[in-house]
Amino acid sequence: SMTAVVGVMFVHLYLVEKGYSYTHVQAIPAFLLSVFLLLLICPFNIVYKSSRYCFLRVIRNIILSPLYKVVMLDFFMADQLCSQVPMLRNLEYVACYYITGSYKTQDYGYCMRTKNYRDLAYAVSFLPYYWRAMQCARRWFDEGETGHLVNLGKYVSAMLAAGAKVAYEKERSVGWLCLVVVMSSSATVYQLYWDFVKDWGLLQFHSKNPWLRNELMLRRKFIYFFSMGLNLILRLAWLQTVLHSSFESVDYRVTGLFLAALEVIRRGLWNFYRLENEHLNNAGKFRAVNTVPLPFHEVDEED
């Protein structure tokens, strides 16, 4: 798919350079996106149908979170969506750009000036956190563990922080700025605690590996400390909202791309330690084993 995207991009630039109708050339990305969407829902057994339909089922379960029992695949994917808010907002912009016919007039700012689009963009920013919060509520209902309610509070704090940022973008006053700092700082501390202690299982003071945990899959312990520090730094990307004046010479889209890339890196880091901790917990509860011993040693002894 990435090869197709890059190929179409070069074709797009080539046709523009050759002077072809801009309206027709601008329709190429929409055509490519339509092909991908049709391929995703294609009922024929081609191009990994089982994987495509599994993905669609997971997305359905996420959107209708309170109605379905939550399994790890569902909440793990929902966590990924929380890091893909910029991508979701870009998809919303692309839909607006083509549906309203802005591509014919090359009016890139039309959607940004439309109140309905801005309101929907704010809703899109909240949705992943809302879905994840509903999953926590459903897990609490099914399992009765209060830890799920505490986890729900983490996503509520993220939504409150996002709401404060939205209000600050509309009215850049000192009062809203202070509220953004307070809400975002509180949400960041909440999220960092959950990352390190609950999701990664680290910061166990009485473990045989101080400040880490008893079972580690990586031999070099400093990697865990480095990862915690990096996660802390990347979690503070919201400071760009407060320090936006320092980036006036850089286009906001470039800044957004850079911050989105940092979040992808942070989420990839989070994924590794989250899955490591999940695997070790499963092994500890006899739902899995750390390693599968091979029989070669026993065979050699018998010989």
Residue found by looking up tokens 């890139």 in the block:
108
- In this predicted structure, the answer to whether residue 142 has a pLDDT above a threshold of 90 is yes
pLDDT number for residue 293: 55
* Amino acid occupying residue 77: M
| CB-neighbour burial class of residue 162 (10 A; exposed 0-12, middle 13-18, buried 19+) | buried
Residue at token pair 């065979």: 299
Rounded Cα distance, 41 and 27, in Å: 22
- The more confidently predicted of residues 222 and 302 is 222
In this model, does residue 72 exceed pLDDT 70?
yes
What residue segments make up the domains of the chain, in order of their start? Answer: 1-40
Q: What is the pLDDT of residues 145-167, one digit of tens each?
A: 999 999 999 999 999 988 888 77
Residues 6+ apart with CB under 8 A from 288: 279, 282
pTM of the entire structure?
A: 0.84
Other Cβ atoms closer than 10 A to 237: 15
Average pLDDT over residues 62-78: 92
pLDDT score, position 300: 45
Tens of pLDDT along 198-210? 999 999 988 899 8
For 252-279, the pLDDT digits (tens) are: 777 888 888 899 999 999 999 999 999 8
For 83, the enclosing helix (H) or strand (E) is: none
